[in-house]
Structure 1
Amino acid sequence: MIRESPAAAVRAAMTERTARQQPVWPDRDALDLVEAELTDLPGLTTEDEVVDLARGMTLVAEGAGLVLQGGDCAERFHEAVPELVRRKVDHLQGLAAMLRAGSGLIGVAIGRLAGQYGKPRSSPFEPDPEEVGRTMASYCGDAVNDPAPDPARRVPDPRRLRTAYDSSQVVLREVRRAWCGKPLEERVYAAHELLLLPYERSLVRDGVRGAFSAAAHFGWIGERTRGLGDAHVALAAGVHNPIGVKIGPTASPDDVVALTRVLNPDGVPGRLSLILRYGADDVDRMLPPVVSAVARQGAPVVWLCDPMHGNGLKLHGVKTRLVESMLAEVTSFVRVLVGHGQRPAGLHLELTPDPVTECVSPQVANPTFPDYRSTCDPRLNPEQSVALIAHFLDRLSWSG
C-alpha cells in the first residue's frame, strides 16, 4: 500500500474543508491548469530557510528577541524589480535594527513581501464608478485581478496566479542577495497572508521534517478565514512553517484557545503567533479575557500587535488610519500583556519606505492626501513607522 505523502495529505485536507474569501473564478478549467503548473514548479522558499526563521521565532518566544512584521498592504506586480525590492528590504532591516538597539534583543524582521498579492475583501463586489447601478468585482490583489475601475479588468484571471509566482521569485532573489554577509538574526524573511487556496495548495512541498509551505517563510491566516473547520486552518496546521493568526473582536476566548491547540498541538515555542487587531476602542475590553484564557488553557504563542487594521476610517471619502489611535492600541497591547504575565513580542505593520501621506493625525485640521499610492489600505511612511516602533519600545521599557 502506498502511503500518501505529507504534502498530499495537507492538500487533501484543504480540499475537504470550507474555503472562504475565494474569488469567483469564471474559468475553472484554466484555474486547474494553472494549479497543476504551479505544483510542478520548484518551491519558492526552502525548508532550510523555514527552519532558520523558526529558530529565530523560538528565541523570540523565549524572551531573547522581538518581531517586526512589515510591508505593503498589497504588493504590485510592477514593483517586483530589484531596486524597489532592495529599498523595501533595507527599510525593514533598518527598522529591525532600531528594535535591536532599543531593546538589546534580537530583532526578527519578516516582510509582507514575495507573495502578498491576494487580499480578502468585505464584499466581493463594489459599485462601478462609470455607470450608476452597475457593479464590478472588488479588487482582490494583483494575483486575482486589476485594480483599475473597469469591470472587464476586474474579472478574476487564473493566469495571474502564475504571475504571482514569477513576481515572488524575483522578490525572493533580491531578498536573498540582501542576506549575503549577514548573520541569521539580520535577515529579512518573506511572508504573506495564506489566502488564495489554489496558489497556496500547489506550493505545499514535502521536506525532511514533513510538509512545509514553499510559498513563504512565514504565513498568516486572516480574521475572515480562521474558522476551525476552514481550509486555511487545515493548511496552517499541516505545514511546519512558523505561522500566525489575526485575532480581532469577533474571536471569543474559547475560539482563540481552540486555535492555539489545533495550530500548535505540540506546544512548540515560536511556532504560532497571535496577531492582535482589535482597534483602539475595543482592545482594553476584549483583549484581557483572550490573554487570560490562552495563558491558562492554550498552547504557547508569540503575542504580536497589529495596530492598523482595527483603526481604519474614511475622511473626505479617503481610506486612512489615525496615528494616535495606533499609538493608543500599542499602549494597551503592552499594558494588558504585561498585566497578565505575558510578553509583548512585536508589531505587525503596513508600511513603506516611500514618503506617502496615507495615514494621518487627528490633530491636523482638514487633512489632505497629496501622496496616496496604495491600491488597498493606507500604510505608514518612514517617519510614522519610526514613531510607532519608538512608542512600542518606550512602553516596553516602562513595563520592564
Structure 2
Amino acid sequence: MTIESNVNQSNDLDSFRSLTALQQPTWPDAERLDRARSILSENAPIVVPAGADQLRDNLARVARGEAFLLQGGDCAESFAEADSARIGNKIRTILQMAVVLTHGASMPVVKMGRMAGQFAKPRSSDTEIRDGVELPAYRGDMVNGFEFTAESRIPDPMRMVEGYRISAATLNLARAFTQGGFADLRRVHEWNAGFLKNPAYKRYERTAKEIDRAIRFMAACGVDFSALRTTDFFVGHEALLLDYERSLTRIDSRTGNAYDTSAHFLWIGERTRQLDGAHVEFLSKVANPIGIKLGPTTTPDQMMALAERIDPDRVPGRLTFITRMGASRIREVLPVLTTAAKREGLVAAWATDPMHGNTITSATGYKTRRFSDVMDEVVGFFEVHRSVGTIPGGLHMELTGDDVTEVLGGSEEIDDEGLAARYETLVDPRLNHQQSLELAFLVAEMLVTG
C-alpha cells in the first residue's frame, strides 16, 4: 500500500481538535486568531508537495544506509536575526559539514536546515518569574516577544502570519544560495581549507589533504565543475503550533493527499508525542516525511505504537526517529529500541540529536552544554547502531554559522567565564561555526572506520 492510500484513509484534517494539544499558547483574542488562520489558509504554500516527496525518497536512502542526513540550525529562529548574512552563515556551515561528511562517508549527504519555520518552542512552564514578577513564558517569536514585559509576552496569533512571511523569505534565500553558485564544491572546499589551517585541527590534516587531492584529481580529469554548482536543500521544523500547521495544509492536486506545506519535513517533539494527543493525530494525516523525537524514557512499545500511527504501511522515508538520550544514557537506552526495531522489521531512518539531552547550567548561570558530552553522545549513537546491526543515519543539530560562545569546550576551549562573550541564543545553546565543523570531522572519521 502506498503512502497515498495511507493518508487518505481518513481525510478529516481537523480530527486533532477533539484531542488534548499540549504546549499550545492561550490566544487571548479568538477573533484575531480566526483572522490569522484565514490569512494563512489563503496564502501560497511555502513548499510544494513534490519537494516533500523528493525528501521522502532521499530519507528512504538514509534508512537503507545509502545516504547520510545532516540537519542543522537554530534552536529557535528569531524574526530580528532573519537577515541574509546570518542565514548565509548557517547554510555555509551546513554545506561545509556536508562536504566533510561526503568525503568521509563516500555517500550523498541529505542537507536540511532547521530553519524557515522554527519560530516556536515548547517550554517546561507556562509562566516565568523574575524579581517576583510572573509573566507568560516566551514561546518563540511566532507566539510572543522575548522582552520581559506584560505587553510583549501576550500571545498574538498575527505573529504566525509574520512567521509565515519570514519563513517564505528564508527559504527563498536558501534556494538562491544553494542554486546560484554559493554551494559550488570548489568554494565549499576553500572554506574548509581556511578552517583546516587552524593549528588546533592538525589531527584532521590527512582528511584535508585527501579532499584537496580529490579536487585536484577531478580538475585534472576535466570534470565539469559547473555541474556541481548547485545542491538540494530542504527545510524542517518542529510542528508545534497546530493552528499554524493546519492553516498551511493543502490538498495536492496530483494525488488528493494532504501535505503540510509549511516545510518539507516536520517532527514531533519529546513533549508532544503522546499517542492519543493532537500532534500525533494531525501529523498522521499529512503525507510529509515525519520525524519523532525519542528521549531516554521511551519504551519499545511506545516506539512501535508511534510508528504504527504515523507509518502503518511502513513506507520507506516516511518515518525518521531522532534520538535525544543524553551522553550518560544513550549506550543504555538506545540498544533496547534499535534491537526492537530490527526484530520487528521497522522501516525508519535514525538520526541523533546530541544537544537536548545534555543541557546544564554553568557556574555563571548560563544554560549551556559541554561539547565533550555532545561528542560523546554522537560516538555512542554510532557504537550502538553498529553493535546492533542497524544504521546510524544522520545528525540533527542546533548550530549557527556565527562565532557565538554558548557551548562549553571545543578547540576554542570556551569556559564558564567565556560564555558571556557572545551568548546570543534566546532559548537553547548552539554549536558555533568551528564546533560544528569539529563535530563533522569526528563523524567523518567514524563513517570511514565503520
Structure-2 separation of matches of 1:16 and 1:337:
39
Report the CA distance between 1:229 and its aligned residue: 1.1
Q: TM-score of the superposition, structure 1-length normalised?
A: 0.93
Q: CA deviation at 1:185?
A: 8.8
**In 2, Cα distance between the equivalents of 1:274 and 1:268?**
14
Q: Does 1:254 find its partner at 2:301?
A: yes
Query: Structure 1 pair 364/75, CA: closer, same or farther in 2 (3 Å)?
Result: closer
The answer to whether structure 1 residue 153 and structure 2 residue 152 are counterparts is: yes
1:266 positional shift:
1.4
3-state secondary structure, aligned to 1:389: helix
How far apart are 1:21 and its partner, in Å?
0.5
Q: Deviations for 1:212-238, whole angstroms, at most 9, x for unmatched residues?
A: 110001111100001111111122211
Asked if the contact 2:351–2:395 (Cα under 8 Å) also holds between the matched residues in 1, the reply is yes
The alpha carbon displacement at 1:366 in A equals: 4.3
1:122 to 1:12, Cα distance in 2 relative to 1, 3 A: same
Q: Deviations over 1:124-183 (max 9, x none)?
A: 1111x3xx3321111100000111111220111111010001111111111222342677
User: Which moved further from structure 2: 355-364 or 273-282?
Assistant: 355-364
Aligned equivalents of 2:438, 2:248: Cα separation in 1:
37
Q: Matches of residues 1-400 of structure 1 in structure 2 within 5 Å?
A: 9-127=11-129, 129=130, 132-180=131-179, 186-207=231-252, 208-209=254-255, 210-297=257-344, 299-315=346-362, 316-361=364-409, 366-369=416-419, 370-398=421-449, 400=450
SS at match of 1:186: coil
> 2:229, 2:21 → 1: CA distance?
36
Amino acid at match of 1:252: T
What CA distance in whole angstroms lies between the structure 1 residues aligned with 2:78 and 2:276?
31
C-alpha spacing 1:379/1:366, structure 2 compared with 1 (3 Å): closer
SS of 1:368 mapped into structure 2: helix
Question: Is the 8 Å Cα contact of residues 104 and 447 (structure 2) preserved in structure 1?
Answer: no
Amino acid at match of 1:113: M
Deviates more, 1:276-285 or 1:363-372: 363-372
Report the 3-state secondary structure (helix = DSSP H, G, I; strand = E; otherwise coil) of the residue aligned with 1:9: coil
What secondary structure, in the 3-state scheme, does the structure 2 residue paired with 1:171 have? helix
Q: Give the letter aligned to residue 57 of structure 2.
A: R
Question: Larger helix proportion, structure 1 or 2?
Answer: 2
Q: Distance in 2 between matches of 1:184 and 1:159?
A: 38
Q: TM-score, normalised by structure 2?
A: 0.83
Aligned partner letter, 1:326: V
Does the C-alpha gap of structure 1 residues 184 and 50 become closer, same or farther in structure 2, counting only changes over 3 Å?
A: farther
Q: CA deviation at 1:10?
A: 4.7
Moved more, 184-193 or 108-117: 184-193
> Relative to 1, partners in 2 of residues 1:298 and 1:235: Cα closer, same or farther, differing over 3 Å?
farther
Aligned 8 A contact 2:91 2:401 in 1: no
CA contact (8 A) 1:242 1:270 kept: yes
What RMSD in Å do the two structures reach over aligned CA positions? 2.0
Identity of aligned residues (%): 39
Whole-Å separation in 2 of the counterparts to 1:250 and 1:28: 37
| Cα offset, 1:104, TM superposition | 0.6
Structure 1 counterpart of 2:259, one-letter code? F
Q: Which runs of 5+ in 2 are unaligned?
A: 1-6, 181-226
Name the SS for the 1:136 alignment partner.
strand
1:161-209 alpha-carbon deviations (Å, 9 max, x no partner): 1000111111111122234267799322111100001000111111123
1:114 CA displacement: 0.5
Check 1:8–1:87 CA distance in 2 against 1; reply closer, same or farther (3 A cut). farther
| Inter-CA distance 157–320: structure 2 relative to 1 (3 Å threshold) | same
* Distance of 1:50 and 1:378 partners within structure 2: 29
Task: Quote the Cα distance in structure 2 between the aligned partners of 1:298 and 1:166.
Answer: 41
2:376 partner letter: A
Q: 1:320 to 1:7 in 2, by over 3 A?
A: farther
Give the Cα–Cα distance (whole angstroms) in 2 for the partners of residues 257 and 298 of structure 1: 11
Would you say the 8 A contact 1:303–1:343 is kept in 2? yes
Distance 2:333 2:399 in 1: 26
Tell me, yes or no, if the aligned pair for 2:89 and 2:402 is still in contact at 8 Å. no
CA contact (8 A) 1:258 1:298 kept: no
| Larger Cα-atom Rg | 2
- With CA pairs under 8 Å and 6+ residues apart, which has the higher RCO, 1 or 2? 2
Residue type of the alignment partner of 1:118: A
Q: 1:14 to 1:185 in 2, by over 3 A?
A: farther
Unaligned regions of 5+ residues in structure 1, if any?
none
Maintained 8 Å contact 1:323/1:359: yes
The answer to whether the Cα contact below 8 Å between 1:276 and 1:306 also exists between their aligned partners in 2 is yes
Indicate how the Cα distance of structure 1 residues 156 and 94 shifts in structure 2: closer, same or farther if over 3 A, else same: same
